[in-house]
Structures are given as C-alpha cells and as structure tokens.
Amino acid sequence: MRLGILISGRGSNMEALIRACAEPGYPAKPAVVISNKADAKGLAIAADMGVPTRVVPHRDYASREEFEKAVDAVLREHDVSLVCLAGFMRVLTPWLIGRWDGRLINIHPSLLPEFPGLDTHARAIAAGKKEAGCSVHLVVPEVDAGPILLQAKVPVLADDTEAALAARVLGVEHVCYKLAVKWFAEGRYTITNGKASLKEKPSGMPEGFLIP
C-alpha cells in the first residue's frame, strides 16, 4: 500500500511509519507526506528520509472543502492507497472522508471512546484514570469515532504530569500505528456494523495492546 501521511507538527508518528516501511516485508511504502503548516518539524524529517513532501496551507483556501480538494489532488498525484493522519490538526469534512471511505485512518492519544478531542492527557489525569493510552481507528465524519483497529494502554502514575503521561503514551503510539497499518495493508481486518475485527489474532503481543 502507498501511504499518504498527513501531519501538522512534530511528526514522530509519521517517522515511526516511515521507519516501519523500510523493514523487510512491511506491506506499505510512504508515497508522500503532506502538511498544512510550512513550519511543521516533520517535513524536514520526511525529506531527510527520502520521502516526497508537500505543504498545502489551509489558509490559502476559501473553504475547508477547497483546502481538502487540494490535499486530495496531491494524494492522487502520488497514487496513495491509504491515508494516515498523524497529528494532523484540521477537522476533515464529510467530503474528504467520503472520498477516502475505508482508506483513511487516524491515531488518537486516548483509549477511545474515552476522551475524544483535545487535551486528552490532562483530562485523563483530572478524571483520576488509572490507565491511559492510544487508539488507531478508521475515520468517520464524527470526530474520533470510527472502527477501532488497535489500542494500547499504559498506566497513569500517581504523580504524573501531562507531559510525562504524553511521553509514555507516545511511546506506545509509535508501535500501535505501525502494527495497525501493517495488519490493515495485509487485509487482516473485517469491518462489520461499524466495528473492526482482526481475523487471526496474533499471539505474543506486548502487554497492554488491545486487539479488536
């Protein structure tokens, strides 16, 4: 599968996916990295790793849909087959989501359906949660909903700060995204009634990974 990776900033999940693609037998290749922000740090990382990059500045377009049409054109130009949102900070309209229906996935830093939206780690700490984590899911028009492909959980420690928890979750995000994209590209998921299920459950998974 040819990945189109959409970023807005640091790009550590993007980097994890590009690195995974270089592993022998990994069933995907990075086709293009697109950022809506010209100063996204991930752009330089992708370029250093030999992946084509493009900036599509959302402010240059009169509407969300015009912006998305420009993004869509770049994805098609690079013959992308799976779109991976990786810290892409624009809410997508049903137009782009419909156009990539079933081929558009996201990573979110919470154990969905808990804490959709922003500030997930601060909210998990404030709620006194004992566990936090991340979710890779197919994108549907409702924000941070959609069939869950893989989750990973980590403990919330008694003295956790938002930054400490974010760093712990980010560590499992990188593994989670890489595995979910692999299994997705291998056609190992079935999606029924809005729920994903992995056909053959792998054995020997690291602790904390939740396979649907």
CA dist 155 and 133 (Å) reads 8
Residue 28: strand, helix, or coil: coil
HSE toward the beta carbon, residue 108, CA cutoff 13 A: 27
Task: Out of 46, 107, 136, 165, name the contact with ligand GRF by CB under 6 A.
Answer: 107
Cβ–Cβ under 8 Å, residues 30 and 3: yes
Which one, of 102, 99, 135, lies nearest residue 117 by Cα? 135
Residues 122-141 that bind ligand GRF (CB under 6 A): 134
As measured in angstroms, the least distance from the Cβ of 158 to ligand GRF is: 23
Told to check if 12 binds ligand GRF by CB under 6 A, we report yes
Active site residue 174: no
Told to check if 53 binds ligand GRF by CB under 6 A, we report no
CA dist 208 and 212 (Å) reads 13
Told to check if 90 binds ligand GRF by CB under 6 A, we report no
Task: Out of 11, 30, 146, 147, name the contact with ligand GRF by CB under 6 A.
Answer: 11
Q: Of 108, 121, 137, 174, which residue is the catalytic one?
A: 108
**For ligand GRF, which is the closer residue by CB, 78 or 108?**
108
Helix extents (H) in 81-194: 94-99, 120-126, 162-185
Task: Out of 37, 78, 108, 153, name the contact with ligand GRF by CB under 6 A.
Answer: 108
Which residues of the shown chain bind ligand GRF in the complex (CB under 6 A)?
Answer: 7, 9-14, 86-87, 107-109, 134, 170, 173
